[in-house]
Chains A and B, each alone.
Chain A
Amino acid sequence: MTTTPLLQITDLHAGIEDREILKGISLTVNAGEVHAIMGPNGSGKSTMASVLAGREDYQVTGGTISLNGKDILEMSPEDRAREGVFMAFQYPVEIPGVSTANFVKTAVQEMRKHRGLPPLEPAAFLALMREKMKLVEMEQQFLSRSLNEGFSGGEKKRNEIFQMAMLEPALAILDETDSGLDIDALRIVAEGVNALRSKDNAVVVITHYQRLLNYIVPDFVHVLWNGRIVRSGGKELAYELEEKGYDWIKNESPAEV
């Protein structure tokens, strides 16, 4: 029996302002899997996350992206989110004047509306928030504070995972979620993500370092270099990279075309 992959990227070319950054990416992610995309700075990692989430600054010049067999390239960012794509931002935006609770509530109700579900009752919503906050060890007081305003780096990333927990995406893309985290925050974030894994969803972890992958153990590791996936393997590839450094990849990879 063949199943439709959760995410299928085929020969994706994309860039910004005439500059091609992704030069033919192909990737298949099945439900239940965790994929790590590793690579040095400037290899195209964050571009890949942005293109998946639908950031409008980027132009897709070739290839396809489908989610559960549905082409998402022409979809707006909000429609992709409603279809189940979630990106944990590398730099979560601060929004003064909106409490975290009200922001999350608005997002959850919006998603439910688009999925044909009735709005959650206040009590049920509160209970759900309490449950999910525990996952990332967030304290109650965060809910009433303005979204991300004055949050530490770790608090912002935990808030991203909290939102992921509330929105229950099919595909979660963690864009350098480990950057700027101390080891405790890293562990909390990773444990949160692990608790949310299921046979029905998938996680794409985008990272420069192997460190996060000690906690979120990937099924597959892909190395991105110069806009292409130059090597794929199991979790041991991450260790190899950590040991040998990215120069190893740069030296062994085919010269730039």
Chain B
Amino acid sequence: MAMEHFTTAVEGAFTILSEHVNGASSGALHTSRKQALDVLREVGVPTTRHEEWKYTNLAPILANDFLPAIGPTVPVTRTILDGLALSDLDAWHIVLVNGVMQPSLSNLPDADPDIQIEELSDETSAGTIAAATTNPFVAVNATLMSGGVSIRIRANAVVDRPIHVRSIVQTDVGATLCTPRIVMQVGAHASCTLVETHHTVGRSKGLTAGVTEIDCAEGSSVAYTKILDDGENGHHIGTTAVNIARAAKATATTACLDGTFVRNDLVMRLNEPTAEAYLYGVSVLNGSQLADNHTVVDHRVPHCHSEELYKGLYDGRSVGVFNGKIFVREDAQKTTAYQSNHSLLLSDNAVVNAKPQLEIWADDVKCSHGATSGQLDPEAIFYLQSRGIGKDEARGLLTYAFAAEVAEHVAHDEVREHLERRIAEKLGARRFDH
């Protein structure tokens, strides 16, 4: 019931968009929206019978009757923005409200030849990296996206200042669905840092069906950090797809720190030889929070390398899901691909479902995966005690360290420090002295 209502709401918004945006019920944009909507109708909103949603039940989430919104329903003020995470980060801040870029609330480079940030005016240019073909929420996004952000980094540019996209779902008018789209193109041999944060602002619940597409051209280096640290009203279903060209390196770090419901789909495609992909993830949950991380590393060609480390710390009645697919296609000889996934269960009622999935069609490759779940190592606790650190303190320190192993892969100092601090706060744990 809730599921049908959701699709109907998306259809309704599509009809309004067709009639009012650009006035066109024909043309390329209309066609691509219609195609995406057809995918949603065909695939439907997934139930737990769907293999990709086996451990994550959407029915209670979608029972909130989210209505799509495009652009601000009520103005979002600077004061609100200033209260959100990383607002004082020395960065180019790009603010999207209900999926639409707000230049007046953003802090954008002024005629910087290296970076071009603008509203995604031609939505048909999106979807080449994250195509709306099978994933119903990518289809939702493709049906409704309007005015997201396009970021272009010029070839050979070294952009030290992070680019921070802050996507806000504004919910004062009622339970709201927003569909932000971020499209980033990184030129050859350029390097940059992209930080993505999501917030629900307002009295009602918010659901974000976001899509981020990143194209890493030859020899480029991209550090991408997605932080889900929303309030109780926050629900997030997001896909990030990354294409990695020859000798390019992409690092994606996904942190699920707060918010009621998070589902991340991360797809890293190694499209040309010597491409490198690094995937890191950390979830720190409590209460009845849920974080579901699905990752795909697609080795399509020979001589590529990938490393993946996902960790979860689950307290209360929280639920963690990790599904990590690695495809090594027939041509992808000399692939090295490593995956590990470790979970710490901090309460008897917390649950984690972990599923590594390696499909290897080439025969000359090095691949490994490892998964553990359990409690803190008693020997490690004793080791700390034997150095004069009290038992409870030792537990806290080790719990923090367990999560910090992921955060330490974030290269940007301020962003890493922010993550480490938030992890410690969430755990109520002391950090080791610095």
Which A positions have Cβ atoms within 8 angstroms of B? 53-56, 76-78, 80-82, 86-87, 89, 92-93, 95-99, 102-103, 105-107, 109-111, 114, 146, 163, 167
Contacts and interface: CB of A to CB of B under 8 A. Distances in A.
B372 to A, nearest CB: 12
B388 interface: yes
Q: 10 nearest interchain CB pairs?
A: A97-B405, A97-B401, A77-B385, A102-B432, A107-B387, A81-B388, A97-B404, A105-B433, A93-B383, A98-B401
Given A98-B432, A102-B434, A93 B385 contact: no
Interface string B273-309: 0000000000000000000000000000000000000
B389 A110 contact: yes
Contacts of B390: 76, 78, 110
Contacts of B384: 107
B382 A55 contact: yes
B408 interface: yes
B402 interface: yes
Contacts of B403: 97
Nearest to A109: B433
26 contacts: A56-B382, A76-B385, A76-B390, A77-B382, A77-B386, A78-B389, A78-B394, A81-B385, A86-B386, A95-B380, A95-B398, A95-B401, A96-B401, A97-B401, A97-B404, A98-B401, A106-B389, A106-B397, A106-B432, A106-B433, A107-B389, A110-B390, A111-B387, A114-B388, A146-B405, A167-B387
B160 interface: no
A78 B382 CA distance: 9
B112 interface: no
B401 A82 contact: no
A244 B430 CA distance: 53
Contacts of A82: 388
B39 to A, nearest CB: 41
Contacts of B432: 98-99, 102-103, 105-106
A54 B377 CA distance: 17
B380 to A, nearest CB: 5
Interface of B: 377, 379-380, 382-391, 393-394, 397-398, 400-405, 408, 432-434
A55 B401 CA distance: 22
A72 to B, nearest CB: 13
A54 B387 CA distance: 12
Contacts of B404: 97-98
Nearest to A80: B386
Contact of B386 (A53, A95, A98, A114): A53
A98 B397 contact: yes
Most buried by B among A56, A93, A97, A99: A97
A56 to B, nearest CB: 7
B382 to A, nearest CB: 6
Nearest to B342: A96
Contacts of B382: 55-56, 77
Nearest to B403: A97
Contacts of B394: 78
Contacts of A110: 387-390, 393
A77 B391 CA distance: 9
B390 to A, nearest CB: 5
Contacts of B380: 93, 95
Given A54-B385, A76-B385, A107-B389, 5 more contacts: A81-B385, A97-B408, A110-B388, A114-B388, A167-B388
A225 B391 CA distance: 33
Contact of B433 (A53, A54, A56, A102): A102
A92 B397 contact: no
A218 B134 CA distance: 73
A89 B391 contact: no
Contacts of A92: 383
B402 A97 contact: yes
Contacts of A53: 386
B30 to A, nearest CB: 51
Contacts of A55: 382
Contacts of B393: 110
B401 A107 contact: no
Contacts of A89: 383, 386
Contacts of B398: 95
A114 B383 CA distance: 18
Contact of A81 (B387, B400, B402): B387
Contacts of A102: 432-434
B377 A93 contact: yes
Nearest to A99: B432
A152 to B, nearest CB: 18
Contacts of A78: 385-386, 388-391, 394
